[in-house]
Amino acid sequence: MAVKLFGAIVIGSMETELKIFELSARKGMKEIDCVSARIHLGVDAYSKGRLDVEKVEELCTVLKEFKQIMEGYQVNDYRVCGTSALREIRSALITRDYIEKQTGMKIEILSNSEQRFLDYKSIASESDSFENIISSGTAIVDIGGSSIQISVFDKDKLITTQNIRVGKVSTREKFMPLAKNNMHFEALVMELMDHELNGFGKLYQKDRQINNLIVIDGDLVELMKKRDQTAAIPVVSREEFKDLYHRIVYLNPDEVTEQFELSSDSAPFVVPSVIFCRCLMEKLGAETIWLPRMSTNDGLCYDYGVNNKLIRSKHNFDEDIIAASRNIAKRYKSNQPHIKNMEEMTLQIFDKMKKIHGMGQRERLLLQISVILHNCGKYISLTNVAECAYNIIMATEIIGLSHAERRIIANVVKFNTMDFDYNGDMAAGSSASRAEYLVIAKLTAILRVANALD
């Protein structure tokens, strides 16, 4: 079986990283090189809403160097993705276009749910014990520059995933100028986290016991680098973490660098991450923290390998998307027997008419989610179900789906009961592309037929 080389580049809020992987059916996925450059894009993006020209030029230079490295390895394919630092600036499209013209590389801007799903895939790809970990109450906590994603698992099922707009870069930039000292900074961050997590616990955790936290954070991994390097995911007990917390939380960045041998770039942001973890352990009741060494790059390669049938997936990620959708439907008191019947009919119609509609497995998944969520609007209004359902879906993040896919689902649900826009105004406008319009039209037709049959 042929061996392929794949390059994964992720433009993060603090670091831009290239990983080159070797993919084969026999050996699976193997990292063969990793190169990174510290460019603090997030500091400008979150405080100013734009990137300074100097940093954009620096990013272009780094990407050109990464391109030369990939050419040296003769990679078969690559993917370049931007995260929140490019996603949240006002001139995102213009900045991306400029970088693409300067480097000759196409850049994808990942939505928050896509980015977190790739991080989640990176854990599953490397850890043989992943299935065992999530069989009991587990929360995957992805600490980013501008937000924290919390995904709760129980009995192998994804219960919920929620995004909290508190990140290590944005928090430090906002609170450090206000803090009198390090102790005051700790108090400010803990008060903010306590407020956010109180709502999360009441709505989503309830009486569910969370035993494990799987924390995705490169700075925390660097902090724990002296621990066991052989385990796929290093494990820290509650007591060990408390001891570490008290040793580091009141230190200045220079002291963190000296005492823990961290890079000067990581030191300022590791303290907010440590405070976040302490708050999460106390609020969720976790006893263990798992610190995987993987990153979004690993998820990109894993996704590429599975899609191109170069490696076999160890976990059914589509089932996680469906499970999350079912929990949303449950939250809005949807009619479960009706949904069950609708699912059976719509999927049968879809499968029997493949030669006519020409859609694939991804569209089949979008149809199934549309069925699951099609009457959630009744929770808000019985007279304006379509618009309410549309707004609920567009306002609710579903892990693993892009913004465009969520828009397709919302429109399919909307036009299930409203007159369809056959004039093509939706496709002509900026809200949906021509390809999306055709998918919406086909899925809506199937959903309406099944709804009538039930």
Instruction: Tell me: pLDDT of 428 over 50.
Output: no
**Reported confidence tier of residue 430, pLDDT bands at 50, 70, 90:** very low
Instruction: Tell me: pLDDT of 59 over 90.
Output: yes
With helix as H, strand as E and coil as C, how does the chain read? CCCEEEEEEEECCCEEEEEEEEEECCCEEEEEEEEEEECCHHHHHHHHCCCCHHHHHHHHHHHHHHHHHHHHHCCCEEEEEECHHHHCCCCHHHHHHHHHHHHCCCEEECCHHHHHHHHHHHHHHHCCCHHHHHHCCEEEEEECCCCEEEEEEECCEEEEEEEECCCHHHHHHHHCCCCCCHHHHHHHHHHHHHHHHHHHHHHHHCCCCCCEEEEECHHHHHHCCCCCCCCCCCEEEHHHHHHHHHHHCCCCHHHHHHHHCCCCCCHHHHHHHHHHHHHHHHHHCCCEEECCCCCHHHHHHHHHHHHCCCCCCCCCHHHHHHHHHHHHHHHCCCCHHHHHHHHHHHHHHHHHCHHHHCCCHHHHHHHHHHHHHCCHHHHCCCCCHHHHHHHHHHHCCCCCCCHHHHHHHHHHHHCCCCCCCCCCHHHHCCCCCHHHHHHHHHHHHHHHHHHHHC
Q: What is the mean pLDDT of residues 296-302?
A: 89
Determine which of 229-233, 240-244, 273-277, 367-371 has the lowest per-residue pLDDT on average.
229-233
pTM of the entire predicted model: 0.79
Instruction: Tell me: pLDDT of 371 over 60.
Output: yes
**Residue 429 confidence (pLDDT):** 45
Determine which of 261-270, 309-318, 426-435 has the lowest per-residue pLDDT on average.
426-435
**Residue 127 confidence (pLDDT):** 57
pLDDT tens figures, 60-81:
999 999 999 999 999 999 999 9
Instruction: Tell me: pLDDT of 309 over 70.
Output: yes
**Residue 310 confidence (pLDDT):** 84
pLDDT tens figures, 96-139:
999 999 999 999 998 888 888 888 787 776 656 666 667 677 88
What's the chain's average pLDDT?
86
pLDDT tens figures, 249-261:
999 989 988 888 8
